[in-house]
Amino acid sequence: MTHRTKVAIIGAGPSGLLLSLLLHRQGIDTLVLERRSREYVEARIRAGLLEQGTVELLTAAGVGARMGREGLVHTGFSIAFDNRLHRIDLESLAGKRVTVYGQSEIQRDLGNAHDAAGTRVIYDAEDVALAGLGDRPSITFSRRGERQEILCDFVAGCDGFHGVCRGSIPERLVTTYERVYPFGWLGVLADVPPLGEELIYVNHSRGFALCSMRSRTRSRYYLQCPLEDSVEAWPDSRFWDELAMRLPESALRHMVTGPSIEKSIAPLRSFVVEPMQYGRLFLVGDAAHIVPPTGAKGLNLAASDVRFLCHALVEYYRSGSAQDLEQYSARALSRIWRATRFSWWFTTITHRFDDDRFAYRLKLSELDYLAQSTAASTVLAENYAGLP
């Protein structure tokens, strides 16, 4: 069986479905290919802090209604250190807000929108292979034992860090930049009220902690832990006890504990590949870059990639000009490197990297300066809320 489309999108995560929906609204035909099942993709627990620009892009795609009703709008967040809290007022310092709305909810909203629009999304695609990326792209895959082919004008690689798209670019033509962090995040999801109205990032001598939420009744907590730890070594009681030791006393009194409904340990890395395009293949999101989750930039960077690529494709089909397509990688990477720098810095200032007491005191001093300096707080707020 042969399928024909203008833009083939590999990966049906948020970036792939969002790009497809935006192009569909512009009259550009797409086909989305996903190696996992729809149920698997929609069940993945991921980030949930959205920049204002991401919220606007989702709304432009027609999937903002439920987010507008159920999303939690935050005008700031707090950093805890040395047994005290300092609030960063995003609205007054940067003129922006952020919205807490789970990625799994975005995934479901996008999936439902595709159902309503009648667009083509193929799940459970195996043995995906790309060819002809220089001028006449084609994609082959197997589904239920049948070998199929897609002929297209362009390919958008939205298939994540372990996907096939980045590996389809000749290794000699790309440069990879990577930093792997010497610890992980132990994450717990629990149906308990959040610790507060906004997120709290914790710098503590025992390690980093983050108090987050998915709704007014569901909380998401994280602890810095050794990479070699296992989930089995962290029963709920140990997790809550350790979190309590890292929180300042003023926040601890509001903590409600309960059984976890999901628990996992995630490694942290910074990763960027250049360029993000090869011939008629364009990499989007995690296929081209990974940031530690400290600054909540992963999904937001993917959304900005989608914005750049969508604009370039619309311009190509409207005017025949490939200028914006040729500049896609450079434009996207400019924002990506700024967010990568911020995520690295915010991770460095909030986590314990080793037993160097001198380095730890320097971090406390920098946080103390941050708490006293409007200029320093403004820089943090602008980066956290999302650069242009």
Please enumerate in sequence order all residues whose Cβ is within 8 A of that of 1, keeping only pairs 6 or more positions apart, or say none. 146, 148, 149
- State how far the Cα of 17 lies from the Cα of 31, in Å rounded to an integer: 10
Query: Is 83 exposed, middle or buried (CB count within 10 Å of its CB: 0-12, 13-18, 19+)?
Result: exposed
Nearest to 277 by CA among 177, 152, 168, 179: 168
Contact 209, 243 (CB under 8 A): yes
| Residue the block writes with tokens 């089909």 | 317
Cα 384 to chain centroid distance, Å, stands at: 13
For residue 87, what are its two tokens? Answer: 């609030």
User: What tokens does 359 get?
Assistant: 């380095």
Tokens of 137: 């792209």
Among all residues, which ones are annotated catalytic? 74, 201, 293, 297, 384
Cα–chain center distance at 369: 29
- Looking at residue 240, the DSSP 8-state letter turns out to be H
Rounded distance between C-alpha atoms, residue 194 and residue 215, angstroms: 8
The whole-angstrom separation of Cα 126 and Cα 289 is 24
| Residue 168, helix vs strand vs coil | helix
Query: d(Cα 375, Cα 80) in Å, to the nearest integer?
Result: 19
C-beta atoms surrounding 1 within 10 Å: 8
Sheet with strand 84-89: strands edge to edge: 84-89, 76-81, 200-202, 209-213, 219-225, 175-190, 260-274, 289-290
**SS3 (DSSP) at 347:** helix
Tokens found for residue 10? 């590999």
